[in-house]
Amino acid sequence: MRWTDEMKGWFKANAPDSFWYETAAAFQEEFGVTLNRSQVKNARMRFGAKSGKAGGMFLKGHVPANKGKTWDEFMSPEGQANSRRTQFKVGEIHGPEGHVKPVGYERVSKDGYIEVKVADGLQSRANCNYRPKHHVIWESVNGPIPPHTMIVFADKDKRNFDPDNLVAVDRSIWSTISSKGFRYADRESLEACINVVKLKRAVYEKRLSPRTCRECGAEFQPTFVNQSRCRECIDRRKRCTS
């Protein structure tokens, strides 16, 4: 539809503080054009004619119908009973009885791991109440999990919670095992993979031990294996050739 300047002016003046169907009826009476809900909504946005009613908001000065009244004055006995049934009780955290999962309750995460409820906390911290079951079992035997450490199922079975099947692996080492496609099937083979990664890193670090610059003779710490010149000499050669 084509909006004339007269229509736009009318809409800005009459649309605010009215429901969409009230605006549509008045617009049809004025211009003989029928508008649906979407058209009224879009026109409000285009012309900046905001409505305090259409969004379900209370207007300034609105007085609640039950202000200053007791339950008996505005609610039936049945309504009061239903309301009490869903209210929080003193000392209750998660709502009416029957909705609270007990500590020890288990669930499956989106990644397929078993999580166990270890505490009752506030609803806003509900996720903190659950921990991976294999973490809980590993800690019961070995103590707190060290920082930057993963607990891995040695046989890749997420339901095998035997402590001997749970292996602590440094995250950086696990990253190498995963990215390089190292194969393992039990604790022994997994620990062998860990030792291989550690050995490779030790060899690499050894190859980065301090050495003498072939150009100036100064001792320096290399940043890559085949580095034969110190950083100062490398930078000097770059400046000379540029």
Q: Which tens digit of pLDDT belongs to each residue from 26-44?
A: 888 888 888 888 888 888 8
Is the same domain home to 118 and 170? yes
Please indicate, yes or no, if residue 53 is contained in any of the structural domains. no
User: Which pLDDT band holds residue 54 (cuts at 50, 70, 90)?
Assistant: very low
Confidence (pLDDT) at 96: 46
222 and 163 fall within a common domain = no
Place of tokens 């869903």: 86
Once rounded to an integer, what is the mean pLDDT over residues 200-206?
87
Do both 195 and 236 map to the same domain? no
Task: Report d(CA 81, CA 88) in Å as an integer.
Answer: 14
Question: First CA to last CA across the chain, in angstroms?
Answer: 66
Residue of higher predicted confidence among 87 and 171: 171
Span 139-160, mean pLDDT?
Answer: 95
Question: Is residue 131 domain-shared with residue 201, that is, in the same domain?
Answer: yes
The answer to whether residue 96 sits within a structural domain is no
* Residue 32: inside a domain: no
Tell me the percentage of the chain whose pLDDT exceeds 70: 86
217 and 137: one domain? no
The answer to whether the beta carbons of residues 123 and 93 sit under 8 Å apart is yes
Into how many domains does the chain fold? 2
| Greatest C-alpha distance within the chain | 97
Same domain, residue pair 123 and 173: yes
Taking alpha carbons only, the member of 96, 137, 91 closest to residue 114 is: 137
> Measured in whole angstroms, how far is the alpha carbon of residue 10 from the centre of its chain?
47
pLDDT at res. 189: 96
Domain coverage including residue 120:
106-206
| Nearest Cα to Cα of residue 222 among 206, 198, 238 | 206
Task: Give start and end residues of each alpha helix (H) in 48-111.
Answer: 71-74, 77-85
Quick check: is 122 in a domain?
yes
Cα torsion for 227, 229, 234, 236, to the nearest 10°? 180
Instruction: Please name every residue paired with 107 in a beta bridge, in sequence order, or none if there are none.
Output: 115
**Residue 175 tokens, joined:** 């990253």
Nearest to 111, CA basis, from 146, 42, 158, 148: 158
Same domain, 157 and 227: no
pTM of the model: 0.51
| Average pLDDT of every residue of the chain | 83
The separation between CA 233 and the C-alpha centre of its own chain, rounded to angstroms, equals 48
